[in-house]
């Protein structure tokens, strides 16, 4: 008997599906169209787009758009801060409505560069209560072998799943599976930040 799916809207319940989401991320070359990436679903329909520095002309800023090109999420990196004697930068994701107003919906701490393989990347959301974080990155994003897990250790999204090995022949393609009920727009907002942190398609 299948477990009941709990919807977890962070950006919008519109992006929480009762079915597992299977997506392919295609990175756009900087030289041709300014970088960023396009996300397609299993029917090859564009679900999301991410514009980075090459398109926006601004460092430390990203925009997540829906399949129609409408802006969903503005993502910005704040300057270095000191916490427990380690310096980190914090990314903040702001949901955008049709009137252009912004609401902070999540933040992510970028690890110290010298500890980037070992230091946890953790994400807090507007729902965070009585704890420091809601989600964590497990694995190493540049290897396209990592997961986003919740604070109970449940996988909410998996990056670089083995079933599409034929796609992995191209470094510009990788596979993302999102658990039922999880906000897919939030997942790709997090992936956009990871892409930037590790100097991939969204970064100049």
The model's confidence at residue 173, banded by pLDDT at 50, 70 and 90, is confident
Looking at residue 58, what is its pLDDT?
Answer: 87
The model's confidence at residue 178, banded by pLDDT at 50, 70 and 90, is very high
Looking at residue 98, what is its pLDDT?
Answer: 65
Looking at residue 110, what is its pLDDT?
Answer: 85
Residue 3 clears pLDDT 50, i.e. is over it: no
| Integer Cα distance of 46 and 106 in angstroms | 24
Based on the number of CB atoms within 10 Å of its own CB, is 53 exposed (0-12), middle (13-18) or buried (19 or more)? Answer: buried
Closest CA to 41 of 149, 184, 183: 184
Whole-angstrom CA distances from 151 to 7, 86, 132 are 16, 22, 10
Q: Pick 43 or 168 by higher pLDDT.
A: 43
For the residues 118-143, what does the mean pLDDT come to? 83
Q: What's the whole-number average pLDDT of the chain? A: 85
* CATH number of the 13-197 domain: 2.40.160.200
Residue 46 clears pLDDT 60, i.e. is over it: yes
Q: Pick 84 or 90 by higher pLDDT.
A: 90
Structure tokens at 27: 């990175």
Based on the number of CB atoms within 10 Å of its own CB, is 143 exposed (0-12), middle (13-18) or buried (19 or more)? Answer: exposed
Stated pTM of the model: 0.88
Output the CA torsion 103→66→60→197 (10° steps).
110
- Domain-by-domain residue ranges, the chain? 13-197
Residue 99 clears pLDDT 70, i.e. is over it: no
């Amino acid at each position: 008997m299948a477990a009941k799916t709990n919807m977890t809207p962070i950006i919008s319940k519109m992006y929480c599906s009762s079915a597992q989401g299977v997506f392919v991320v295609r990175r756009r070359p900087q030289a041709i169209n300014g970088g960023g990436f396009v996300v397609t679903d299993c029917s090859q329909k564009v679900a999301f787009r991410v514009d980075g520095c090459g398109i926006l002309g601004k460092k430390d800023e990203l925009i997540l758009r829906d399949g129609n090109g409408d802006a969903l999420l503005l993502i910005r990196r704040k300057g270095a801060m000191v916490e427990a004697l380690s310096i980190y930068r914090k990314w903040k994701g702001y949901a955008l409505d049709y009137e252009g107003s912004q609401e902070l919906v999540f933040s992510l701490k970028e690890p110290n560069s010298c500890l980037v393989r070992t230091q946890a990347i953790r994400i807090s959301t507007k729902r965070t209560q009585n704890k420091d974080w809601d989600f964590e990155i497990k694995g190493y994003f540049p290897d396209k072998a990592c997961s986003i897990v919740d604070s109970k250790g449940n996988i909410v999204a998996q990056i670089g799943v083995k079933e599409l090995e034929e796609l992995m022949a191209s470094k510009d393609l990788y596979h993302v599976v999102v658990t039922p009920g999880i906000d897919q727009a939030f997942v790709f907002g997090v992936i956009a930040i990871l892409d930037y942190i590790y100097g991939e398609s969204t970064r100049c």
